Homo-oligomer: A and B are copies of this chain.
């Protein structure tokens, strides 16, 4: 029936219903908290219980990923209420889906037995994802309860650092031999019944588990049953090694439109597989954490985190900016004599510094992107510098003249106008050179240029802008 096909709107409706029920629930709790009348207790007993049972029903019809989403979007106290209502048999799936901060708040409400029960519902690669949040004794019990193969897998998954293919891969590999017929393969699959999620191909291995090729499901379907695997398997699959960088793997998934890919060790032995959903999660997480770290936030902060946690999360960035601002302030300090004589300098200097910072950050953004696309090499470094400096000079002449003219109009001092224009041009040139060089140097020294460049550029263009403007003014005007 048509109406059985699930539409997204219906999900949003359910989420709204849940939020309404939660609001009602809190309302009742607040009432009871505020006034201790028997009538309120009655309301609590009747309405409250009905609310909770409605909530429970709604929640348990949802996909674990949707429950995870709801848990992310509500404050800590309400989160506890919802978490208690969720059926224990999806606890594990939800813990895998939520973010690290939310997982920690949820786990803090669970005892070891509950945690162990939740973790035992999971695949080895999923256990590895949440392992760092599990108490040591739970992880130990878990390892003891696993069979040898899975224990080995879990240990290997835990051994690969975040950001590698090894940390993203799972172990749901279906392998076949190359010398059997499709009929045999089909019989095998009918015995297995449920193929692992995202299975678009089977992995063909020899008796040492070395990969020989891959057999897309499509070929199984469109070929005659008597065909031998060897004759129809593909031998040009994209392979990954566990120690490959996850970013490279996600580029390959995008480039070749992959759904799954085998992961092999140095001896070509199949150790796991990478799926497009793990890759997509990785891309999203990378983009998220880059955005946060560009503003000096670590990803562990959640909107509902405590004030104290937020202060700690943000202080390092503010401290760094404080130091650079302090240095810029000392540059101004050197020229206090000039400012005392021509006080207009104080009002005009932040403009020169500010526009330099904006322009430098534009250049850096371009360079960071070009680095990611592999467009930057030493052979075109000169080309790049030439272009950025030219753009800076053009912008400097354009905006510098506008500003110089305004400065002249405001203060009636022609020379001040020229100083303004010249300082703008020079500071934009400085910002262009720094905007090219800083991300390249950071990249060269293995730092992520997207994250730290902005502070460095701003520090340079602030101090540099003040120095250029006040220095020129001292030479020309004083």
Contacts and interface: CB of A to CB of B under 8 A. Distances in A.
A152 B208 CA distance: 53
B350 A2 contact: no
A172 to B, nearest CB: 12
A272 to B, nearest CB: 16
Interface string A240-260: 100010001000111111010
Give the number of times this chain occurs in the complex, counting copies. Answer: 2
B221 A220 contact: yes
Interface in A1-59: 1-2, 4-8, 19, 23
Given A6-B237, A362-B297, A391-B314, A280 B255 contact: no
A371 B398 CA distance: 38
A236 interface: yes
A180 B450 CA distance: 56
A223 B288 CA distance: 42
Contact of A333 (B239, B347, B370, B384): B347
A194 B5 CA distance: 28
A291 B373 CA distance: 14
A474 interface: no
Contact of A354 (B199, B256, B283, B325): B325
Interface string A324-368: 011011101100100110011111111101110011011011110
A325 B346 contact: no
B5 A235 contact: yes
A311 interface: yes
Contact of A236 (B5, B276, B365, B374): B5
B221 A189 contact: yes
B310 A391 contact: yes
Interface stretch (A118-126, A143-151, A375-383): A375-383
Interface stretch (A109-117, A128-136, A209-217, A437-445): A209-217
Interface stretch (A63-71, A80-88, A156-164): A63-71
A240 B399 contact: no
Contacts of A366: 297, 301, 303
Interface residues of A, number: 140
B311 A329 contact: no
B5 A239 contact: yes
Contact of A390 (B210, B307, B361, B379): B307
A81 to B, nearest CB: 15
Q: Give 8 closest A-B pairs by Cβ, nearest first.
A: A295-B365, A346-B346, A332-B347, A287-B287, A4-B235, A257-B277, A65-B255, A303-B370
Given A4-B236, A254-B277, A307-B391, 8 more contacts: A287-B287, A292-B369, A295-B365, A311-B395, A317-B362, A322-B351, A325-B351, A350-B353
Interface of A: 1-2, 4-8, 19, 23, 63, 65-66, 69, 72-75, 186, 189-190, 192-195, 197-200, 210-213, 217-218, 220-224, 235-240, 244, 248, 252-257, 259, 268, 276-277, 279-281, 283-284, 287-288, 290-292, 294-297, 301, 303-304, 307-308, 310-311, 314-315, 317-319, 321-322, 325-326, 328-330, 332-333, 336, 339-340, 343-351, 353-355, 358-359, 361-362, 364-367, 369-370, 373-377, 379-380, 383-384, 387, 390-391, 394-395, 398-399, 402-403, 406, 410, 450, 462, 466
